[in-house]
A and B are shown apart, each in its own frame.
Chain A
Amino acid sequence: DAKTTQPNSMESNEEEPVHLPCNHSTISGTDYIHWYRQLPSQGPEYVIHGLTSNVNNRMASLAIAEDRKSSTLILHRATLRDAAVYYCILRDNNAGNMLTFGGGTRLMVKP
Chain B
Amino acid sequence: DAGITQSPRHKVTETGTPVTLRCHQTENHRYMYWYRQDPGHGLRLIHYSYGVKDTDKGEVSDGYSVSRSKTEDFLLTLESATSSQTSVYFCAIRDIQDGYTFGSGTRLTVV
- On A, residues with C-beta under 8 Å from B are 32, 34, 36, 42-46, 49, 87, 96-104
Kindly identify which residue among A43, A46, A101 contacts B44, using a CB–CB cutoff of 8 Å: A101
Our count of residue pairs bridging A and B at CB distance below 8 angstroms stands at 50
Can you list the 6 inter-chain pairs with the closest CB atoms, starting with the nearest?
Answer: A43-B102, A101-B42, A46-B99, A101-B43, A44-B102, A43-B90
- On B, residues with C-beta under 8 Å from A are 31, 33, 35, 41-45, 48, 50, 56, 58-59, 90, 92, 94, 98-105
Cα-based distance from A102 to B43 in the complex (angstroms): 8
- B99 contacts which chain A residues (CB < 8 A)? 34, 46, 49
- Secondary structure at chain A's binding surface: helix, strand, loop or mixed? loop
- B45 contacts which chain A residues (CB < 8 A)? 98-100
Given A97-B94, A98-B48, A87-B100 contact (CB < 8 Å): no
